[in-house]
Every structure is written in C-alpha cells, then in structure tokens.
Amino acid sequence: MKKDELTALGLTDEQADKVLAINGRDIEKHKKAAEDAKAETATLQQQLTDRDKDLETLKAGAEDAEKVKQQLTDLQTKYNDETAKYQKQIADRDYADALETAFNDGKIEFTSKGAKAAACADFMATRCELKDGKLVGFDDRIKAMREKDPDSFRAEKPDPSFANPTGNGNPTVLSRAAQAARAASARFAPASTTAENTNTK
C-alpha cells in the first residue's frame, strides 16, 4: 500500500500518513510474530531431535542392561554347574574311600581284580547310605553278592583250632586234615600192633 493510493481515495496527506504508520506497525507485528513462530518451530525441532537422541541412548542402555543381565545369568549358571561338579567329585571320593575301608575292615578278598572292580561298580551304581564315614547295609550287600556270585570271592579263612595240651605241656596245633589223618591211622592200624599193645599193657 502506497500513500498515492490512499490520497487517490480522498484521504488527506496526514490521514494517509497515519494509515501507513498503522499498517507499518501491523506489518512489523506480524513479521515479528512470524519470526517468533519460526524460532519456536526451530526450538521444538531441536527438542524433538534431542528427544530422539535420548530415546536412542535409553534404548542402547536397555540393550546393554539386557546383555549385562544375560552375562550375570550365564555366570551364575556356570558357577552352579562347577559347584555341583566339585561337590559330586568330593562325594564320589568320600564314598570310594569308605568302600575301600569297608573291604579292608571286613577282610573281603576277591579272586581277581576284575571281580573287585565289578563289585565296586555295583556299589557305585547303587550306593549305600554314607553315615559317619561308614556304608550302611554294606554287610548285607556283600552277603547277597557272595550268594549270587561265590566264584568272585575267596573262601573265608576258618578260625584256627587248637588241640588239648599233650603230656609235655605244649599245645599242638592240628589242622582239620591232620586230625582226620590221625583218626584214620588209628582206625586202620594193623591188628598185630594192636595185639602187641594189649599184651604190653
């Protein structure tokens, strides 16, 4: 809008100047409002950009937290597995030691190393209760094994037998075989010898 256009409309110069002044203020006002809106838009755009960056950072942090959480879970699982393995090794060792002690205390002898290994394998596969370092029910298991497979065990040694003391005061130890031989000799002694002994008496 120009002054000439206003005067052509019948306005005086003073009136035209006032209209132009008012119009100029309106233009500046709208111009400033547009610039403010533009600045506000830029500010909002920057805030949106910053928000997107923050979201990406939070997302990455969440992913890192999941990774750390998974690592902790894996470490806990590994620790539990290794602990269980270690405890089993200790339990196996203690049980094997108790089994060997039971064999020795019971003076149990096998006919071969293979027979002993088979017996040990049976005790390890189906374990007795281990209480105070001793195997509960060991004697019953051995007895059952002897009955099922007697060839795997050496015969139990009989207790030594002692004869009555002789005239010289020294006891003579005779085996069962020797006792049987002496009895047979007395039974089948020649008649002449028996008669001589009778006459002599």
Task: Kindly give the confidence (pLDDT) of every residue in the chain, 201 residues in length, as a single tens digit, with 9 standing for 90 and above.
Answer: 677 777 777 778 787 777 778 877 767 777 777 788 888 888 888 988 888 888 888 888 888 888 888 888 988 888 899 899 888 898 888 888 888 888 888 788 888 899 899 989 999 888 889 888 889 999 899 999 988 988 888 876 655 555 555 555 445 555 666 666 676 666 655 554 444 544 444
State both tokens at 154.
């050496």
Q: So what's the pLDDT on residue 165?
A: 52
Q: What count of other Cβ atoms lies within 10 Å of the Cβ of residue 129?
A: 9
DSSP 8-state symbol, 150: G
Closest Cα to residue 175, out of 183, 54, 167? Answer: 183
Q: So what's the pLDDT on residue 193?
A: 47
Beta bridge partners of 131: 134
pTM: 0.44
Closest Cα to residue 136, out of 179, 174, 102, 186? Answer: 102
Q: So what's the pLDDT on residue 132?
A: 87
Q: So what's the pLDDT on residue 176?
A: 64
**Local structure of 130: helix, strand or coil:** strand
Q: So what's the pLDDT on residue 198?
A: 47
**Local structure of 151: helix, strand or coil:** helix
